[in-house]
């Protein structure tokens, strides 16, 4: 009620001020007829002076007075006509101004009643966050979300894979605690689009592995849950994501889904920085890039950030020899090929030392040093890469795979 009282008072005050300004008398420009009147009056006086001085005879003065008086009467009639027109125009202008003001006020109230929220209280940021958290705590669980997803019909299925899954189901009924079988079953169920069956098998796998379960296995579980729920991140999927990120904090799939979860829950301020950083750190072929690019501008807008996709940092492809370089190298002599490889390895090493780079580039440099027989240099690069990617399990896995051919150095 207080809102409406304040609105009416302020609207009335504005209308009153505008009407007062419109009705205020204004200094109008002097009409031409008024100047004519003054000129003719002066001419009559001049005639009398000329008669007194003897410049004009009485007959001449009479004719002059008659002509000047006629012009004086015409000027007076013109002046009165102009005054009446101005008065009528003033009243007409005031009527138009009053009508426009009344229509503006009425239209404003009508628009607010249509698209506004009468009676809606003030909602500070703290209150909004509290509402978000309340809605987040009460959001549907995994089972409820899956029940809302329509049955997928007409999905193309590989008959051989389907037959394999049927056999796997039968085998797993006899060996329910076989981790390899459970992993294979979960992957193939998901490949067939049976995401619910897939995440149930994956959950069983994690239960069998216990503390030995990896972050990737938790993240796979979360992804299957999200796909089974039609893209919705349920509380159960969130728990799996958080556990997976605790074990593999740089995993791109988990970071994408965490950003998606925040976007769904009305927290674009948390989703945007996650996706922005992931966009910059991903490789150009990362599977989540297209989904981020389609949504990140809207998420940024909702977060209060005025930015376009083109202005955001983009993935950088790992640099190395191009297809043209490789084709040119095939026509070189062995000595020239060795020199070219040496130059590329030296350039890659210098760039990584100065600028750093993705784990793919480090792995490529390690492999090149091993091929060149420089195992000591390769081991030094491995040690440095382990420090650089100490908190990135996925990156470390690539480094260790590249270093696998190295023998253990003697103490």
Residue 408, domain member (yes or no): no
Q: Based on the domain organization, do 172 and 70 belong to the same domain? A: no
The whole-angstrom separation of Cα 367 and Cα 374 is: 10
Residue 270 and residue 305 in contact, taking contact as beta carbons nearer than 8 Å? no
* Residue 310 DSSP code: G
More confident residue, 200 or 13: 200
Q: Based on the domain organization, do 32 and 96 belong to the same domain? A: yes
Q: Is the pLDDT of residue 163 over 80?
A: yes
Q: State residue 87's pLDDT score.
A: 52
Q: Based on the domain organization, do 332 and 301 belong to the same domain? A: no
Tally of domains in the chain: 3
CATH code (residue 291): 1.25.40.10
**pTM higher than 0.85 for the full model?**
no
For the chain, percent of residues with pLDDT exceeding 70: 77
Residue 359 and residue 368 in contact, taking contact as beta carbons nearer than 8 Å? no
More confident residue, 224 or 39: 224
* End-of-domain residue from the set 260, 278, 311: 311
Q: State residue 43's pLDDT score.
A: 78
Tally of CA atoms within 13 A in the half-sphere of 343 that contains its CB: 9
Q: State residue 4's pLDDT score.
A: 66
Mean pLDDT of the chain: 80
Domain span holding position 339: 328-403
More confident residue, 346 or 303: 303
Residue 142, domain member (yes or no): no
* Residue 211 DSSP code: G
Residue 123, domain member (yes or no): no
Question: Average pLDDT for residues 191-220, to the nearest whole number?
Answer: 93
* End-of-domain residue from the set 258, 280, 311: 311
Placement of tokens 């390769």 in the chain: 378
Residue 220, domain member (yes or no): yes
Q: Based on the domain organization, do 297 and 345 belong to the same domain? A: no
Residue 130, domain member (yes or no): no
The whole-angstrom separation of Cα 357 and Cα 100 is: 66
Q: Is the pLDDT of residue 154 over 50?
A: no
Q: Based on the domain organization, do 169 and 288 belong to the same domain? A: yes
Which of 339-343, 351-355, 358-362 has maximum average pLDDT?
Answer: 358-362
Q: Based on the domain organization, do 258 and 386 belong to the same domain? A: no
Token pair of 187 as six digits = 């992957």
Q: Based on the domain organization, do 166 and 301 belong to the same domain? A: yes
Q: Based on the domain organization, do 183 and 293 belong to the same domain? A: yes
Residue 155, domain member (yes or no): no
Q: State residue 282's pLDDT score.
A: 84
Residue 59: strand, helix, or coil: helix
Q: Based on the domain organization, do 25 and 103 belong to the same domain? A: yes
Q: Based on the domain organization, do 249 and 385 belong to the same domain? A: no
Residue 409, domain member (yes or no): no
The whole-angstrom separation of Cα 225 and Cα 168 is: 21
Query: Considering only CA atoms, which of 230, 255, 234 is closest in space to residue 245?
Result: 255
Residue-wise pLDDT for 211-270, tens only, equals 999 999 999 999 999 999 999 999 999 999 999 999 988 899 999 999 999 999 989 999
Q: 62 — phi, psi (to 5°)?
A: -65, -45
Query: Considering only CA atoms, which of 249, 253, 7 is closest in space to residue 116?
Result: 7
* End-of-domain residue from the set 257, 285, 311: 311
Burial 156-188 (b: 16+ CB within 10 A, else e): eeeeeeeebbeebeeebeeeeeeeebbbbbbbb
Q: Based on the domain organization, do 110 and 199 belong to the same domain? A: no
Q: State residue 91's pLDDT score.
A: 60
Residue 320, domain member (yes or no): no
Q: Based on the domain organization, do 228 and 348 belong to the same domain? A: no
């Amino acid at each position: 009620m207080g809102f409406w009282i304040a609105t009416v008072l302020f609207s009335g005050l504005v209308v009153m001020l505008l009407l007062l300004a419109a009705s205020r008398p204004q200094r109008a420009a002097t009409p031409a007829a008024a100047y004519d009147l003054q000129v003719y009056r002066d001419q009559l006086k001049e005639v009398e002076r000329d008669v007194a001085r003897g410049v004009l005879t009485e007959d001449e003065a009479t004719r002059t007075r008659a002509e000047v008086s006629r012009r004086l009467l015409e000027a007076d009639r013109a002046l009165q006509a102009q005054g009446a027109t101005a008065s009528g125009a003033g009243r007409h202008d005031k009527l138009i101004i009053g009508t426009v003001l009344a229509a503006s006020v009425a239209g404003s109230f009508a628009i607010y009643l249509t698209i506004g929220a009468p009676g809606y209280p003030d909602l500070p940021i703290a209150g909004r966050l509290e509402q978000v958290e309340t809605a987040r705590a009460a959001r549907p669980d995994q089972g409820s979300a899956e029940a809302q997803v329509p049955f997928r019909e007409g999905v193309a299925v590989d008959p051989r894979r389907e037959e394999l899954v049927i056999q796997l189901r039968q085998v797993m009924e006899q060996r329910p605690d076989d981790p390899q079988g459970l992993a294979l079953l979960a992957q193939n169920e998901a490949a067939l689009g049976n995401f619910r069956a897939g995440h149930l098998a994956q959950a069983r796998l994690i239960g069998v592995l216990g503390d030995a379960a990896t972050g990737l296995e938790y993240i796979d579980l979360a992804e299957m849950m999200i796909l089974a729920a039609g893209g919705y991140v349920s509380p159960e999927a969130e728990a799996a994501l958080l556990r997976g990120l605790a074990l593999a904090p740089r995993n791109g799939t988990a970071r994408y889904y965490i950003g998606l979860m925040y976007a769904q829950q009305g927290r674009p301020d948390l989703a945007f920085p996650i996706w922005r950083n992931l966009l910059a750190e991903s490789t150009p072929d990362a599977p989540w890039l297209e989904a981020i690019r389609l949504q990140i501008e809207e998420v940024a807008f909702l977060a209060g950030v005025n930015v376009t996709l083109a202005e955001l940092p983009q993935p950088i492809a790992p640099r190395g020899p191009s297809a043209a370089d490789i084709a040119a190298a095939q026509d070189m002599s062995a000595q020239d090929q060795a020199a070219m490889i040496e130059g590329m390895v030296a350039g890659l090493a210098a760039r990584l030392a100065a600028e750093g780079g993705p784990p793919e580039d480090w792995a490529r440099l390690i492999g090149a040093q091993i091929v060149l027989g420089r195992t000591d240099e390769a081991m030094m690069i491995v040690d440095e890469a382990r420090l650089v990617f100490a908190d990135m399990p996925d990156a470390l896995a690539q480094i260790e795979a590249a270093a696998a051919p190295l023998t253990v150095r003697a103490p």
